[in-house]
Amino acid sequence: MPNTESIVDTLAERGWCVATGFLPEAAVAALRAECLQAHTDGAFHAAGVGRGRSQVRAEVRGDQVLWLEEDDAGPALRGVLQDLETLRQGVNQALFLGLFDLETHFAAYHPGAGYQRHLDRFRDDDRRSLTVILYLNEPDWHRDDGGLLRFWPDPEATPLDILPAGGTLVTFLSERFWHEVLPSKRQRLSLTGWFRRR
């Protein structure tokens, strides 16, 4: 399991990090079960594009989301939020980003759904500073299953395609890095969030 220090060092060096095995499979399975139960219960809704009165535009973004509150979190989610809090403190100590809180949601992509290339920071709101994506997929996920995160370390360079393997944590500076979700052939699950400044 990658430690917080190695993630912070990588973020300091290049502004993004892919940490495979951030969460062990047993913890991934427990969190996946909480996510799927909420989905079965009908708690998810179609994700919108933009801030405030966001619009549902399935041709741009096809996932369903459930915004999360710590007070309502199950035991698996509470454990992960504690791990992410440790990461927040480490990033603040090393990079002086002034990260204050975390907004987060579960995201579910059904087969065929994706999310076109975008940045995570809104044009009129610069609070989102560090994106975190923790994949909750089954351990047998392969490239042929799709749902890859296409990520541009440089907007003019060839992008990287990151496998959404369960337990992998992807972190990057929200204002700098373009990314998209390629269409998936299986249900694709993640815990996605943004550390924000005041």
DSSP string across 113-180: --EEEE-SSBTTB--EEEEEEEE---TT--GGGB--EEE-SSTTSPPEEE---TT-EEEEETTT--EE
Question: What is the reported pLDDT for 72?
Answer: 84
Question: What is the reported pLDDT for 47?
Answer: 82
| CATH number of the domain residue 108 falls in | 2.60.120.620
Question: What is the reported pLDDT for 61?
Answer: 85
Structural contact between residues 45 and 64, judged by C-beta atoms closer than 8 angstroms = yes
Burial 151-180 (b: 16+ CB within 10 A, else e): bbeeeeeebeebbbbbbbbbbbbbebbebb
Question: What is the reported pLDDT for 129?
Answer: 94
What is the number of domains present in the chain?
1
Residue-range definition of the domain harbouring residue 133: 4-196
Give me the amino acid identity at 108.
Answer: A
Return d(Cα 59, Cα 113) in angstroms, integer: 9
Question: What is the reported pLDDT for 75?
Answer: 96
Question: What is the reported pLDDT for 55?
Answer: 63
Q: Partners of 131 in the beta sheet? A: 172, 194
pLDDT in tens, the chain (198 residues): 568 999 999 999 999 999 999 999 999 999 999 999 999 999 999 886 665 556 656 667 889 999 999 888 999 999 999 999 999 999 999 999 999 999 999 999 999 999 999 998 766 667 889 999 999 999 999 999 999 999 999 988 899 999 999 999 999 999 999 999 999 999 999 999 999 998
Question: What is the reported pLDDT for 62?
Answer: 87
- Length of the chain in terms of residues written: 198
Question: What is the reported pLDDT for 3?
Answer: 84
